[in-house]
Amino acid sequence: MSEASASSLPADDGWEGHTLSITVTGEDRPGVTGTLLGAVAGIGAEVLDIQQVVVHGHLTLTLLLRPGAHVEQLRDAAAVAAHRLGLVLTVTEGSGDNARPRQGRAAVVVLGAPLQADAVSLVTTRIAEHGANIDRIRRLSRYPVTTVEFDISGADVPSLRTELALVATSEGIDIAVAPGGLARRGRRLVVLDVDSTLIQQEVIELLAAHCGREAEVAEVTARAMAGELDFEESLRARVATLAGLPASVLDEVRDAIELTPGARTLVRTLKRLGFTVGLVSGGFIEIVGRLADDLGIDHARANRLEIEDGRLTGRVVGEVVDRAGKARALREFAEQEGLPLSRTVAIGDGANDLDMLDAAGLGVAFNAKPIVQEQAQTSVNVPYLDSVLYLLGISREEIEEADLDDGTPTHAPPVPHASH
């Protein structure tokens, strides 16, 4: 028994019948759409398309109709409605429905604080030079960064991503290019690095502070994250400095940890969407596991410190979670969740995150070291971790409305002002 669906029905792309495009513009207020549609109702027109946009209180509303034999009646009815509403009316006769968007759907998300007109102009110029068309534009946020999403067609995602990466660097903005259409929707796995990504500190440095060797350890950590040292070798050397510390320092470090601004909002929103969230860290499960429990995170993988007689031995137990181990964890989490890698997002800041960022469907360098920004698919260089949500097409309004609905306090950061 075969199953019929809307997508399997014959297409009407070749229809070239008469159309009437009715557009009204002016001050937005409730009831405009209903009044205009009410005016043309009962005349016998078929609605082919409706599109509306409101920018700073200014409305543009367009109806595309198949008018039959009622062109003049529809014109007159629309004119009366527009006059009553105090709106400017434009009526255009044509033929055929809207052209179907070309293949190569993509979403281009641009973030800036501030987002200068020169930068946006350059982005749109590069899109056009690439041979792609901008089909829709919408703003995703106005604070703490301004974020605009371009829905485009006719794009080759990898090459456009490379072209716009040059614009991001020259203009000091962040740009993400991702496949559009169904690839933009559905459940995902989002995996985050912990130190200097989910949290603001490096845990091993907090531990080293308890034995007076924080500066020494911080220097080695910085070199490892910049890709100058082998991660496993540097980790074992740094952990060795902790030998003899009482295990109770782990509780003190847990209490000292500060989440990155927006971290709770990011995780909370992802979980509301039904997404799976994981943590992968070159740090320590004694800290990472507690963070995962506190935030309701699904998966956590990190190194384990060896403890004997209530004290740290200066060694780690088992296989080290290094650069390759992080990518392996991403793949394993995805397999456990029944998701392809194309449905994964990885977020990190250091050189040991590069394999994970490369393996993910979307790899995001978050306030990352230069070597990571150079190699990652996209970068976010604002100090708010929930800005990653914009890259997924989730708007600030949607986030705040969801918080309001369940009573979660929303603490809006200050709106940045452009410098002159």
Q: Which sequence positions are flagged as catalytic?
A: 193, 195
Question: Cα-flanking dihedrals φ and ψ of residue 138, to 5°?
Answer: -145, 150
List the end-to-end C-alpha distance of the chain, in Å, as a whole number: 68
Q: Which of 57, 7, 56, 1 is closest to 32 using CA atoms? A: 57
Instruction: Name the region of 161 (left: φ>0; alpha: ψ -120 to 50; beta: rest).
Output: alpha
Q: Kindly report whether the peptide bond that precedes residue 114 is cis, defined as omega within 30 degrees of 0.
A: yes
Exposure b/e, 267-289, CB count within 10 A at least 16 = b: bbbbbeeebbbbbbbbbbbbbbb
How far lies 403's CA from each of 116, 240, 277, in Å? 30, 44, 19
Cα-based angle 134, 55, 82 (whole degrees, multiple of 5): 105
Q: Which of 51, 43, 50, 34 is closest to 74 using CA atoms? A: 43
Determine the Cα–Cα distance for residues 283 and 193; give it in Å rounded to an integer.
Answer: 9
Q: Which of 357, 360, 401, 367 is closest to 387 using CA atoms? A: 367
Identify whether the C-beta of residue 109 lies closer than 8 Å to the C-beta of residue 149. Answer: yes
Identify whether the C-beta of residue 364 lies closer than 8 Å to the C-beta of residue 380. Answer: yes
Amino acid found at 192: L
Mapped onto helix, strand or coil, the DSSP state of residue 233 is helix
DSSP state of 246: B
Element counts in the chain: helices (H) and strands (E): 15, 15
